[in-house]
Amino acid sequence: MRVEPLPADDMLPVAPGEEHDESAGRAMEIVNYLKAHLPEDLVVVMDAIHCVKAKMDSEHIYAEVAHSLMVSMKECRNRMKRLRRASLKLLHKWEKKTS
């Protein structure tokens, strides 16, 4: 049986979870707020996490991030800890600002 290749400009439906999310603007607002206020080295960590494939376990994410930043796993964990603590403070500020 011959299978015809799909045309490049196919009109296939977007996969579930990929649909346009209007409230994504809020998530983007949080991310932008964090990136605007976090120290640069932590913004780099966020970018590195962004580039890692989703649904990996934490250890693999740490390994990928450490590799992309060319730092040790220990250093990567330290930065992650700093990122979480700094983000927590900023999230509280953001919440106060927007409420």
Partner 1 sequence: MGEENIVNRTDVLIRQFFEAAAESDERFLQTLQRILAAADQPAVGPADHVVRAGLAGKSTRVSPVRETLPTYSATGPGQSETSEIDAAVCSVGEALGEMLLANGWTKQEAAGKLGLSEQVCHELLNEMMPLTGKTARSVATFLSETHHGTPAQLLADYLLNGLHFWELKHSGPGHTRIAARRKGSPNDKKKP
How many residues in the chain?
99
Q: Using CB under 8 A, pick the residue from 71, 73, 97, 99 that binds partner 1.
A: 71
d(CA 30, CA 10): 34
Q: Does 4 bind partner 1 (CB under 8 A)?
A: no
Q: Does 20 bind partner 1 (CB under 8 A)?
A: yes
Would you give the binding string for partner 1 spanning residues 22-61, x where CB under 8 A is met?
A: xxxxxxx-xxx--x----xx-xxxxxxxx-x-x---x--x
d(CA 91, CA 2): 55
Name the 3-class secondary structure at 54: coil
Q: Does 75 bind partner 1 (CB under 8 A)?
A: yes
